[in-house]
Amino acid sequence: MLQAFLQEIRLRGSYLNNAASPVTLYFGGGTPTVYAPRELGLIVKQVKETFQVVDFAELTVEANPDDLSLQYLTGLYEIGVNRLSIGIQSFNDEHLRRMKRRHTAKQAVESLQFAKEAGFENITIDLMYGLPQLSLDEWKATIEKALSLELSHLSAYHLTIEPRTLLGKQQQKGFWHPIAEEESEAQFLLLHQLLTQSGYEHYEVSNFARAGKQAIHNSLYWQQQPYIGIGPSAHSFNGYSRQWNVANSKQYLAALQEGRLSFEYEALTPAMRYNEYLLVGLRTAKGVNLSYIRQHFGEAVADYFSKQIQHNLMRGTIIRENDNYRIPAKHFFVSDSIIEHLFS
């Protein structure tokens, strides 16, 4: 599969249409740590050669705590990785067991200690709330443990249950019941309160950062900048269309052996691009800009937005600052329903 990745990178060389060279590289969307640092280094080298990149402002690797040894992390650091995203989820062993995670709370803390020893300063972790039987006190303890580790960035996501997963089947059989919405919101607000009081900026619905440590890679997504995804099911976006690779690994490999790519394609209409601009922009602390809407989508769309937004301005679920409109962080929890009301 590694050779296939290298081949796809070469074939993707013209996708960005001579746009600026990529500034970030992100290994994720699976378990990239199945590859040795040396193998990941070959991918880094190929991307640099294909897109004429001297260095990356941000080079991130996603990992699970139980996959990280000091030796492995040192190897990542040596190939130029400068940011780690570690899927810790919880510092409570009982909740980790219920989520079917392989690591323990002790391993989670050890992985962070190893990362710092290997030289990493820019480290983010993922936490999960909205879990069945997660009390507010237990959630507070997890947040406080994270704060004690002095991390530069933290992401927190509400548990989503898919019907065909193990947790989904257990829920259908009545083994447990989903948490009430008011409990989920209380956990979200506690997260916001404790982190912002500790100096973190709540700069996107699920993301918090120390000053200057916002995720560059994710921020480019939220700013609708072009990107390329490599591998089965990977998505790419060039500003006006989206494409995604075939999910089947055999079909993916067969196409590359023939020197071609196998993907589906979708051209984005102006209405789709406008809706996506609202969807990603209003999830961030920066919000969206009326002048940008007028410039990129036309006067009629700007007028439509101005009319639709009045209800939210009156309720305080969106606030205006000159030409910018944003959702206050205390309303981030219900941002999806706020944004949906504004769609074209």
Give the separation between CA 289 and CA 309, rounded to whole angstroms.
12
Average pLDDT over residues 80-97: 95
Query: What's the chain's average pLDDT?
Result: 92
Q: From 47, 59, 46, 60, select the one nearest 21 (Cα to Cα).
A: 47
User: Under 8 Å CB-to-CB from 32, ≥6 apart: which residues?
Assistant: 40, 61, 62, 63
Residue 132 is predicted with a pLDDT of 85
**At residue 169, does pLDDT exceed 80?**
no
Residue 165 is predicted with a pLDDT of 65
Q: From 271, 242, 291, select the one nearest 342 (Cα to Cα).
A: 271
Q: From 276, 196, 204, 207, select the one nearest 237 (Cα to Cα).
A: 276
Q: In what order do the strands lie in the sheet with 288-289?
A: 288-289, 324-326, 319-321
Residue written as tokens 């209800």?
A: 311
Structure tokens at 269: 């209409």
Residue 246 is predicted with a pLDDT of 95
pTM: 0.92
Residue 170 is predicted with a pLDDT of 66
**At residue 20, does pLDDT exceed 90?**
no
Q: From 36, 16, 14, select the one nearest 27 (Cα to Cα).
A: 36
Q: Taking each helix axis as running N to C, give the angle between helix 2-11 and helix 37-51, from 0 to 180 degrees, rounded to the nearest 10.
A: 10
Average pLDDT over residues 278-293: 96
Residue 29 is predicted with a pLDDT of 81
Residue 167 is predicted with a pLDDT of 64
Residue 176 is predicted with a pLDDT of 63
Give the separation between CA 23 and CA 54, rounded to whole angstroms.
9
Q: In what order do the strands lie in the sheet with 241-245?
A: 235-237, 241-245, 263-267
Quick: pLDDT tens for 33-46: 999 999 999 999 99
Quick: pLDDT tens for 175-189: 666 788 899 999 999
**At residue 19, does pLDDT exceed 70?**
no
Residue 100 is predicted with a pLDDT of 85
Quick: pLDDT tens for 217-227: 999 989 989 99
- DSSP secondary structure code for residue 204 in this structure: E
Residue 333 is predicted with a pLDDT of 93
How many CA atoms, within 13 angstroms, populate the side-chain half-sphere of residue 120?
Answer: 35
Give the separation between CA 153 and CA 151, rounded to whole angstroms.
6
Q: Which residue has the higher pLDDT, 133 or 74?
A: 74
Work out whether the CA dihedral 44, 45, 51, 54 comes out positive or negative: positive
Q: Is 321 helix (H, G, I), strand (E, B) or coil?
A: strand
Element (H, E) at 84: strand 83-89
C-alpha R_g of the chain: 21
Residue 314 is predicted with a pLDDT of 94
Q: Are 33 and 61 in contact (CB under 8 A)?
A: yes
**At residue 206, does pLDDT exceed 90?**
yes
Give the separation between CA 44 and CA 48, rounded to whole angstroms.
6
Average pLDDT over residues 161-172: 66
Q: Residue 231 — very low, low, confident or very high, per pLDDT cuts 50/70/90?
A: very high
Residue 22 is predicted with a pLDDT of 86
Q: Which residue has the higher pLDDT, 239 or 66?
A: 66
Quick: pLDDT tens for 44-65: 999 999 999 999 999 999 999 9
Bridge pairing between strands 288-289 and 319-321: unpaired
Give the separation between CA 276 and CA 339, rounded to whole angstroms.
10
